[in-house]
């Protein structure tokens, strides 16, 4: 077993290289001659961090989840092989002479890192046994901090952007829920709607969720939930001739225990959510599991470690996505992870910068394999590569330990505003809501009743 002090020293070495390089970039240089070396060192630093996240951090306590006093460990990785690769990385990196980097001798430093990375071929092979499947989407809040008219334009801009990107990036796929947003395009922007229909037929645009909108999953009664599925299914069947088998509700503040029963009765076999990752008290124990309703109905559920949208063009979000690979493998025994990518809430979806980054990652040494995927294809992969009978079963609601009191708090807020409206002048109302203009005050009041 590799000495943990040796791992700490190596992590410190990575940080030193990053700092030396950052300092170097602040100094004047002959950019025309050094730009190639700078790009090579930037990639090397990315490689160091990727290896750290996958290999060195594998044994970190943060990459384990405990449930009922027991650590969940479904890992299939050979631990001796893991330790040998860790030792290879640490021992070779410790011999890297950083003095030439400190002195700005980039040609020598780059020659040294090429020699070292040649010795890391077994590490490259190990990392590429993982696959990151990017599901591109745009979580769109239909009525949050803006009105309906703006939501329609958010959808128009997002969908138009996606259709244009599909022309430029072969293999790029996009996933979108909520029948209502499709109806908006059909009524107001038929050209975009017809473009969506062509993309759906081609297989590059995935319709998911089978609901009219992504609803709250705590307050609505049985009839309300049934109509969500009825009208969503009806619209997608009539307009596109399809019926999704995947439930998609990524931003509800918790999920009532009867949902699997609704799903099954509507022909939905699988479910994706991520909201429970927001828990602030207990970490939810499972990430691929059966969710079973009180009547025995159950759906195969995938629960990603990361958000419903990640801007993978940024180093922060990309490292976040890579960093959960060891935790995912330990939790599930699988090396194929689904990453939800894009820009959300106010729409946006995947950007050109994200897709360019994906193309770079496909060719990047030491980075896991990278693919576009739809939710349907990912669940096919899960069902073909997993012993479904051995998966854990969750027999309870999916309770969100966050946003507690959000619904009752909202009720109390508008109740308080009503009292203020009755008893106070507009000027006092402004002070109460901290709103500057009388028109905005009147707008807020109008929306509250």
Distance CA 354, CA 341 (A): 8
Cα–Cα nearest to 391, from 280, 301, 284 = 301
Cα–Cα nearest to 260, from 230, 299, 233 = 299
Distance CA 111, CA 108 (A): 5
Residue 311 is a catalytic residue: no
In 120-189, which ranges are continuous DSSP H helix?
Answer: 121-127, 148-168, 179-188
Distance CA 40, CA 45 (A): 9
> Which tokens sit at 2?
């590799």
The Cα-based distances of 88 to 95, 116, 271 in angstroms read 11, 10, 41
Which of 251, 311, 317, 336 is an active site residue? 251
CA distance between the termini of the chain: 66
- Phi and psi at residue 197, to the nearest 5°: -60, -40
Which residue, chain included where needed, has tokens 């092989």?
81
- Phi and psi at residue 343, to the nearest 5°: -120, 135
Distance CA 242, CA 42 (A): 46
Residues paired with 73 in a beta bridge: none
DSSP 346: B
3-class DSSP assignment, residue 185? helix
Please check whether residue 273 is in contact with residue 263, taking contact to mean a CB–CB distance below 8 angstroms: no
Provide the annotated active-site residues: 251
């Amino acid at each position: 077993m590799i000495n943990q002090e040796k791992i700490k020293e190596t992590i410190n070495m990575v940080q030193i290289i990053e700092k030396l390089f950052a300092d170097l970039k602040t100094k004047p240089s002959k950019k025309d001659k050094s730009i190639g070396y700078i790009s090579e060192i930037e990639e090397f630093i990315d490689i160091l961090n990727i290896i750290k996240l996958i290999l060195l951090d594998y044994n970190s306590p943060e990459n384990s989840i405990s449930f009922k006093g027991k650590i969940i460990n479904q890992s299939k990785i050979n631990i001796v092989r893991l330790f040998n690769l860790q030792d290879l990385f640490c021992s070779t990196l410790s011999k890297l002479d950083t003095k030439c980097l400190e002195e700005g001798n980039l040609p020598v430093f780059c020659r040294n890192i090429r020699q070292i990375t040649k010795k890391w071929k077994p590490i490259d092979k190990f990392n590429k046994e993982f696959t990151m499947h990017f599901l591109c989407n745009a979580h769109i809040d239909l009525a949050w901090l803006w009105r309906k008219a703006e939501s329609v334009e958010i959808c128009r801009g997002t969908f138009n952007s996606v259709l244009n990107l599909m022309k430029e990036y072969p293999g790029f796929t996009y996933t979108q829920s909520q029948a209502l947003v499709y109806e908006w395009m059909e009524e107001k922007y038929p050209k975009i709607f017809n473009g969506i229909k062509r993309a759906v037929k081609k297989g590059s645009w995935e319709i998911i969720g089978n609901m009219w909108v992504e609803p709250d999953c705590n307050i609505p009664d049985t009839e309300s939930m049934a109509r969500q599925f009825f009208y969503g299914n009806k619209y997608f069947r009539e307009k596109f001739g399809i019926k999704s088998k995947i439930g998609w509700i990524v931003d509800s503040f918790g999920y009532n225990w009867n949902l699997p029963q609704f799903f099954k009765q509507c022909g939905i076999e699988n479910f994706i959510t991520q909201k429970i990752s927001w828990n602030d008290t207990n970490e939810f124990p499972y990430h691929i599991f059966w969710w079973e309703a009180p009547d025995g109905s159950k759906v195969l559920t995938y629960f990603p470690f990361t958000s419903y949208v990640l801007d993978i063009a940024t180093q922060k979000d990309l490292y976040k996505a890579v960093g959960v690979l060891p935790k995912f493998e330990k939790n599930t025994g699988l090396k194929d992870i689904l990453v939800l990518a894009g820009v959300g809430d106010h729409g946006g979806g995947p950007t050109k910068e994200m897709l360019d980054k994906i193309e770079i990652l496909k060719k990047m040494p030491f980075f896991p394999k990278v693919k576009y995927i739809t939710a349907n294809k990912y669940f096919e992969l899960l069902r073909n590569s997993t012993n479904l009978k051995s998966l854990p079963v969750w027999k309870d609601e999916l309770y969100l330990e966050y946003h507690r009191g959000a619904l009752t708090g909202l009720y109390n807020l508008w109740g308080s505003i009503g009292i203020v409206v009755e008893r106070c002048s507009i000027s006092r109302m402004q002070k109460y809501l901290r709103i500057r203009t009388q028109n905005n005050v009147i707008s807020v009041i109008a929306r509250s009743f």
